[in-house]
Amino acid sequence: MRRRILAGNWKMNGDREEAMSLATEISGMVKDEYLGDSKIVLFPPFVHIHSIARLLEHSRISIGGQNCAAADSGAFTGEVSAKMLASCGAQYVIIGHSERRSYFNESSSDLTAKIMQALKAGLQVIYCVGETLEQREQTEHFNLVASQLRECLFHLSKDQWGHVVVAYEPVWAIGTGLTASPAQAQEMHAFIRQTIADHMGHELASEVSILYGGSCNESNATELFVLKDVDGGLIGGASLKSRSFVNILKQL
Ligand code: 13P
């Protein structure tokens, strides 16, 4: 179902005390100040997921993992399975973040296996796509994003698509302070929806939520969130400050 979503990707930030305080502050502000009906999802580091899920059990905020293993279980030292995440209270998982693709060499076949594990565990998948600056300058960005979608998502059934959200995160905008302009964001979001429509049909494509991520903050959120094909945001740096995150939420 297409809905508006604000997701906070904390990346590798926050010890236990900091993570618990951030979650407590966000949930308090949401309760006191937020009247909208957008879905709110926080993505803390793995080790905090269980505690934060319990802390927010009776709130309207959901929790997710920033990654999951491609395998079910077994001798994969250091990995965390989708099923383990679900058993700790996670409802979502981010798959294919550009930091995973580039620093950990995650390929399309790794990501496809992760998506299948996540869906099997009953998690909602936020699948990230996006081009580097070099790819954009060479006008390769549309081809690249189409192949990221095709290689990992177009084998899914219509039912499985019901558990998938796409996030467009241009690599050149992540953590750089450079944001896609509203025209660039709308152009790519419309392209993503059209590409999904070409393969899966218009009806399904019109039901997929497509989030924008990349230096989204309190000052630029409104101009991005009003765009026709932008259904919310995947926020990095600005999600680490409760006030900023909730102020972004209020613009959705
Ligand atoms: P920033 O908001 O810090 O640019 O990070 C975006 C991101 O990577 C979210 O997943």
The alpha carbon of 75 and the centre of ligand 1 are apart by a number of angstroms equal to 32
Is residue 134 packed enough to be buried (19+ CB in 10 Å), middle (13-18) or exposed (0-12)?
exposed
Q: Among this protein's residues, is 169 annotated catalytic?
A: yes
130 lines ligand 1 (CB under 6 A): no
Q: What local confidence, expressed as pLDDT, does residue 113 receive?
A: 98
Nearest to 6 by CA among 57, 44, 40, 30: 40
Describe the crossing of helices 141-153 and 108-120 by its angle, rounded to 10 degrees.
40
| Residue ranges in the chain whose pLDDT is less than 50 | none
Q: Which atom of ligand 1 is nearest to the CA of 237?
A: 3
| 212: alpha, beta or left? (left if phi > 0; alpha if psi -120 to 50) | beta
Per-residue b or e along 186-211, where b marks 16 or more CB atoms closer than 10 Å to that residue's CB: bbbbebbbebbeeebeeeebeebbbb
Please say whether the beta carbons of 51 and 93 come within 8 A: no
User: For the chain, what is the total number of helices (H) and then of strands (E)?
Assistant: 12, 8
CATH 3.40.50.720 fits 5-249, yes or no: no
Q: What local confidence, expressed as pLDDT, does residue 1 receive?
A: 86
**Where are the domains positioned within the chain?**
5-249
The alpha carbon of 201 and the centre of ligand 1 are apart by a number of angstroms equal to 30
Tell me the three state secondary structure of residue 65.
strand
